[in-house]
């Protein structure tokens, strides 16, 4: 048993897809979330910059006495997971391997679509993990650089002509490739689930990196007997590097409960 909090971070709102799933699976856990809203997006930046930001994010979170850190960000998971694991003495868990393994197991045709940030697609990490489980699978990858800024601006709803136009253009090659499974390789994308689902059609199974990462982390904590006591109330405290109000509004909408009093600003450049 381990009552210490779990640290979770992302470049912005996207990691809340992991928070939501961890809360659902392990409601007794204390969660500390950092969203680097002042520097989002990460996915269009260089490898060196992503590693520098990720190190600062972990350094901030490690001020708390954590039992584990979840990188709720596809971009950081594909680019900096190994480095962060080497540099930290506590478990640092990513979202890529769990999502890739689930997609590889679920596909029937072996035709898997992958959407992610430019850095994630460039890394080839999903393809490597998928090939380990399903060597005959074909992965059709598409970078979607405009998705993250649109999500951060709340443009997530079906009927919003901007997001629908952008989604139609990004997803067209994957529809043409007739994928039967689509990996949402960036943790922001489940906030666009309704838009993506209506564009791809009901026959395509969506696999969320954020949710799969949460499931794998919950499993690991359970196996290592590191869960919070069963009667623990659980909780969530959020920190962001830009305006608290904008994040609070969108986070409350997405999580389905009011986080307004639980969000604080942090100067991430100090770390
Ligand atoms: N949500 C992140 C990811 O999963 C980062 C997106 C970004 O900042 O570009 O890739």
Q: Is residue 42 within 8 Å of 70, Cβ to Cβ?
A: no
The pTM is what?
Answer: 0.94
Q: Is residue 52 within 8 Å of 87, Cβ to Cβ?
A: no
Integer Cα distance of 69 and 89 in angstroms = 11
Q: For a substitution probing ligand 1, which of 9, 14, 183 has the most ligand atoms within 8 Å of its CB?
A: 14
pLDDT tens for the 271 residues of the chain, in order = 999 999 999 999 999 999 999 999 999 999 999 999 999 999 999 999 999 999 999 999 999 999 999 999 999 999 999 999 999 999 999 999 999 999 999 999 999 999 999 999 999 999 999 999 999 999 999 999 999 999 989 999 999 999 999 999 999 999 999 999 999 999 999 999 999 999 999 999 999 999 999 999 999 999 999 999 989 999 999 999 999 999 999 899 889 889 989 999 999 999 9
Integer Cα distance of 39 and 266 in angstroms = 12
Closest CA to 143 of 179, 201, 183: 183
Both tokens assigned to 176: 């043409």
Report the pocket of ligand 1 as residue ranges, CB < 6 Å. 10-11, 14, 40-43, 73-75, 117, 120, 148, 186-188
Integer Cα distance of 241 and 11 in angstroms = 9
Both tokens assigned to 62: 């490690």
Walk me through the domains of the chain, giving residue ranges and CATH numbers: 6-94+212-270 (3.40.50.1860), 96-209 (3.40.50.1860)
73 classed as catalytic: yes
Both tokens assigned to 119: 């850095």
Q: Is residue 228 within 8 Å of 26, Cβ to Cβ?
A: yes
Phi, psi of 49 (to 5 degrees): -65, -40
């Amino acid at each position: 048993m381990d009552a210490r909090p779990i640290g979770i971070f992302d470049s912005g709102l996207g990691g809340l897809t992991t928070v939501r799933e961890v809360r659902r699976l392990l409601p007794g856990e204390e969660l500390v979330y950092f969203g680097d809203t002042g520097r989002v997006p990460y996915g269009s930046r260089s490898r060196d910059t992503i590693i520098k930001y990720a190190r600062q994010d972990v350094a901030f979170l490690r001020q708390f006495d954590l039992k584990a850190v979840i990188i709720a960000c596809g971009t950081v998971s594909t680019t900096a997971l190994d480095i962060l694991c080497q540099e930290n003495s506590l478990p640092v868990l990513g979202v890529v391997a769990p999502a890739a393994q689930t997609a590889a197991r679920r596909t029937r045709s072996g035709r898997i679509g992958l959407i992610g940030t430019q850095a994630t697609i460039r890394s080839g990490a999903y393809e490597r993990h998928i090939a380990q489980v399903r060597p005959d699978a074909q992965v059709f990858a598409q970078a979607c650089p405009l998705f993250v800024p649109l999500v951060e601006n709340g443009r997530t709803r079906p009927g919003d002509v901007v997001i629908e136009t952008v989604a139609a253009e990004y997803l067209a090659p994957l529809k043409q490739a007739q994928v039967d499974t689509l990996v949402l390789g960036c943790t922001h994308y489940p906030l666009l689930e309704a838009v993506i689902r209506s564009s791809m059609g009901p026959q395509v199974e969506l696999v969320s990196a954020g949710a799969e990462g949460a499931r794998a982390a919950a499993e690991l904590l359970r196996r290592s007997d590191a869960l919070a006591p069963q009667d623990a109330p659980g909780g969530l405290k959020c920190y962001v590097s830009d305006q608290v109000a904008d994040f609070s509004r969108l986070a409350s909408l997405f999580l389905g409960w009011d986080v307004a009093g639980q969000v604080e600003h942090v100067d991430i450049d100090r770390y």
